[in-house]
Amino acid sequence: MAYSLSYKIIKDHLLSGDMVPGSEVCISINQTLTQDSTGTMVYLQLEALDVKEVATDLSVAYIDHNMLQASFENADDHAFIQSAAEKYGLVFSKPGGGICHQVHLERFGKPGLSLIGSDSHTPTDGGLGALAIGAGGLDVAIAMAKGFYFFTLPKVYEIHLSGQLPENCNAKDVILTVLQKLSVKGGVGYIMEYTGEGVKSLSVTDRATICNMGAELGATTSIFPSDERTWEFLKAHHREEDYRPLGPDSDATYDARLDLNLSEIEPMVAKPHSPDAVVPVKDIQDLKVDQVAIGSCTNSSLRDMAKVAQILDGKKVHKDVSLVISPGSANILKELAENGNLASMIGAGARILESACGPCIGMGQAPKSGGISLRTFNRNFKGRSGTKDASVYLVSPETAAASALTGYLTLPPKTEVQEATSYTHVDDYFVFPLENLEDRRKDLVMGPNIKPFPLNHPLEESMEKSVLLKVKDNVTTDDIVPSHAGLLPYRSNIPHLAHYAFTTLVDDFFDRAKAHEGGLIVAGENYGQGSSREHAALVPLYLGVKAVLAKSFARIHRSNLINSGILPLVFENPKDYEAIQEGDVLVLEDLKKGLETGRLLVQNQGKNTSFPVLFAGSERERKILYAGGNLNYSKDLEV
């Protein structure tokens, strides 16, 4: 049988399940990564699983999100994560080492490996030909403890590339074009696999940019073949031994296909407030810009930074523009300092931030009230920048740099920057684990801000709960639990975060939940899109949310709800969504039987009506819900 590249790797790692799209499979996991915004919960969960060391070949704990140490909370979280790394045998990447996805691409990713990470942009390593999947924190903890990962086998979407990018375009313009054509829901249920002659013209960092923003399509992951460009990248990073050529079978078949001629790509921009609100840059006239931010895990490679420096060299940032730049890793920052590019940036008037996520996740550099910000990032959800009434546009580094000079959204000039053939490696930001288990740390450093994560109880046979909140389509995890500099320090403190649940949408969700002793949420399509952070399930769990009734769910958030023991139920008839109002009391009976059959009848007490909802889950997922969550279920599980 002929296989796509994705299915080849899955088959090589398959532990259980059938290679049939829509069925649940379990694969062995070679590597994991975490970052500090999600990592505290992951390591609390790993501790609860009661293991001595991780079962993976390599696990890395990165510090790259919560970097502003305005008080003790972030520093305490970092100390806790480092102590967990030293206890369980993980590589610890200190603050300043770089953004997890960029560093992992440079130092640890390999063609053909399986990687899951507690960050939705983990698919970045698909640029190397790895099967890299973003997952909830508990899934990552279980992978570290047990060495396996369960997921629903996606279909495979072929993106067939021809031609070669124009000299004023970036891989960012490619993925923005794909988003324009397919939307933020276009990749749901798929792996996006890139094929065709056009692939050869894209560097590994180009490919990584495209795979990174595949998360915005809703895709499970994205992947490129491993070829001579992969070998060039690994050789430049002194890792030739990690290379292996990988690609699909010549007669592989796919479930869907999009043809894209790279030669026809033009500079693109995603307008507020969605990554798929994409138009050509030339179609927006006279957009005055207040802020430009360059970097993030999407566009902070050495080549991207060098193009920015080339555009800025000898020029001056517009007087009304604040330009901030975040190189992706300590390696890149060192190279920029040594080759003169950093001087070009500073000479133009750019502010250089440390190698971290920074403004991408709302950690500083919030725009002014009503400000216009151009960003090379992956998301532009309303309020994510830290300023609710700001308008954020997503662009390539070349477009961003050109616009910083003129003060208006501007088409970029042609740039010509060669790929580096040899990289300096900065190892001083890594703390590597001790080989001898007996020599490793035995305790964990637990600051006062680190609170226990909530645990659910086994599922009862019935529930009678009020609808606490009704929301529309494409509600994000940033809406469920806001992510900005004021709240990121409390990622390890669910009771504190609970006070801010849904505050981008309503002011009083916490009060509603407390007054009704929990309840239900009703939602439209693609509920829970965006970040993988499981806080968007843990906070509702803490507040007593028992089920979410939606038209459809984003993949990772659905898994996080199940992991927390919260029922993700889908309207059989989407029109039934319209008839429900906040405050309605819904009754669900015979829950276990309904989950078993996949169909439950919901009674609306006040309206004296009923309607069906569906649960399309595996037997394992049902057992997790019966147990009241995946931690309860998986502690003694073996595959």
Distance CA 475, CA 558 (A): 13
Q: Residue 61: what residue type?
A: A
Angle at alpha carbon of residue 111, lines to 198 and 24, rounded to 5°: 100
pLDDT at 639 (0 to 100): 67
Using the structure block, give the residue that is written with the tokens 């193009």: 307
Distance CA 465, CA 298 (A): 42
What is the mean pLDDT of each successive set of 10 residues along the chain, which is 639 residues long? 96 97 97 95 94 95 90 94 97 97 98 97 98 96 97 98 97 98 96 98 98 97 98 97 97 97 98 97 97 97 97 98 97 96 98 92 90 96 90 98 98 92 92 93 94 92 97 95 85 95 96 97 95 92 98 95 97 96 97 97 94 96 96 81
Helices of type H across 2-161:
5-13, 36-48, 72-88, 100-107, 137-146
Distance CA 132, CA 220 (A): 9
Reading across the β-sheet that carries 58-62, which strands appear in turn? 131-134, 114-117, 31-35, 58-62, 91-93, 430-431
Q: Please name every residue paired with 467 in a beta bridge, in sequence order, or none if there are none.
A: 520
pLDDT at 62 (0 to 100): 98
Q: Is this structure's pTM higher than 0.85?
A: yes
pLDDT at 76 (0 to 100): 94
pLDDT at 512 (0 to 100): 98
Residue 565 sits at φ, ψ, to 5 deg, of 85, 15
